[in-house]
Structure 1
Amino acid sequence: MKETNGDQKGLNMYGSSAHNIYAQNNVGIESPAKLIEMLYEGVLRFNAQAKKAINDKNIEKKIYWTNRSIAIVVELVSVLDKSQGEVSDYLNGLYNYQIQLLTTASLRGDTTKLDEVSTVFKALLEAWRETT
């Protein structure tokens, strides 16, 4: 997918704010674009761990890993640049829905909800890599 003006807005939307947050925490990041990629990958990794914990009937780890995924998605919401219009509005709604799914997955031990979130984040990661 070629980068469009909207894709560039998406990069700018995340870029400086997310990078500043990590810079304040002394985490070395190559670029704001790389940071978003790492966050998407983190959700996928933590969801896989949460799914394993659910299958192993390990409640403590299930809660731990779903909470880690939720924390990343909350961070993604917090760095959205609301001035970017439709792109940020869409992502805000999408991310908030993913938080709902992750919460349900944790409360009910529902791996299908985790799979749904992972499918969305795999698509987001793929699209993100194509635009940066």
Structure 2
Amino acid sequence: MYAGTAYNTYAQNNVGIESPKKLIEMLYEGVLRFNAQTKKAINDGNTEKKVYWVNRSISIISELISILDMKEGQISEYLEGLYSYEIKLLGAASLENDVSKIDECTNVFKGLLEAWRESTDVD
């Protein structure tokens, strides 16, 4: 839908990002922030904001799909499927005003963020 938008936005706003590892972390954090805003908009009955925030989350996830290195094999294939499922889940959550689906997606990205931080920690 908005492939490249999330990356370009983060790149413009964070010119000093020291590594692609940090960028992935920021993208995961962005999904979590935007999901929280989507959930708030659903609870507030604000359709315009709901659509805006869910589209922002979907945009980031689409970017995550586009930057996968498919040469890495099974992990990339797994992530592509997982990310695609999360996009479908967010779309359904928006259509149905279902915050439990937002929560499900949020829990997945919390887990991904935690795993990413653990696997890229070099300290």
Please indicate the TM-score interval, normalised by the length of the shorter structure: 0.7 to 0.9
| TM-superposition CA deviations, 1:57-95 (whole Å, max 9, x none) | 000000000000000000000000111100100000000
Shift of 1:108: 1.1
Whether the 8 Å CA contact 1:22–1:29 is kept in 2: the answer is: no
Shift of 1:27: 3.1
May I ask how many residue pairs the two structures share in their alignment?
Answer: 115
> What is the percentage of aligned positions where both structures have the same residue?
69
TM-score for the superposition, normalised by structure 1: 0.81
1:108 to 70, 79, 96: 96
1:29 aligns with 2:17: yes
Shift of 1:29: 1.3
In the other structure, the counterpart of 1:45 is 33
Moved over 2 A (4+): 19-28
Shift of 1:106: 1.0
Aligned CA-pair RMSD: 2.2
Larger Rg: 1
Which ranges in structure 1 are unaligned for 5 or more consecutive residues? 1-18
Whether the 8 Å CA contact 1:53–1:62 is kept in 2: the answer is: yes
What pairs up with 1:33-112 in 2 under 5 angstroms?
A: 33-112=21-100
